[in-house]
Amino acid sequence: MRLALYEPDIPQNAGSLIRLGACLGVPIDVIEPCGFLFDDRRLKRSGLDYFEHADVRRHVSWDAFRAGVSGRLVLLTAKGAVPYTDFAFAADDVLLLGRESAGVPDFVHAAADARLRIPLSAGLRSINVAQAGAMVLGEALRQTKGFPA
């Protein structure tokens, strides 16, 4: 299981997801360019001292990410047809989160093997990307028995 961040905009969300990955033993892929410098103090503050425990791979582009990471690509998107709670996750899935400001472009949607959504109350469009990542990663690890011992 991996968690991938597509061109993240907000350093605090990226830092929170890196901390989550460190705590759960899940590698994090950051697909650049980011909307912030990777040494941003807000990124470091939200990740606290967990960065030294995190397995973070930075990719200079989408193409570099696709060339360097294998596994089924599972996109979390408000445009997804399948609720994440109805999906059967596999241990080698790569959970992909889009940019906070714009999600992912059409070519990334097209490359995804699955497009999942989080069911929300009527009239509301999305939740915070770090919260979405935590919810879906938790379910994926539960299904695959991938939580740390």
The predicted pLDDT at position 38 comes to 74
The predicted pLDDT at position 40 comes to 57
The predicted pLDDT at position 115 comes to 98
Which residues of the chain register pLDDT less than 70? 40, 42-48
pTM of the model: 0.94
The DSSP 8-state label assigned to residue 83 in this structure reads E
The predicted pLDDT at position 47 comes to 61
**Position 149 in a domain:** no
Domain range enclosing 73: 2-144
CATH of the domain at 10: 3.40.1280.10
Q: Tell me how far apart the alpha carbons of residues 17 and 4 are, in angstroms, rounded to a whole number.
A: 10
Number of domains in the chain: 1
Long-range contacts, 34-38 (Cβ 8 Å, 24+): 34/7, 34/8, 34/9, 35/7, 35/8, 35/9, 35/10, 35/99, 35/101, 36/8, 36/9, 36/10, 36/11
**Position 134 in a domain:** yes
Q: For the chain, what percent of residues have pLDDT higher than 70?
A: 94
The predicted pLDDT at position 96 comes to 98
The predicted pLDDT at position 52 comes to 84
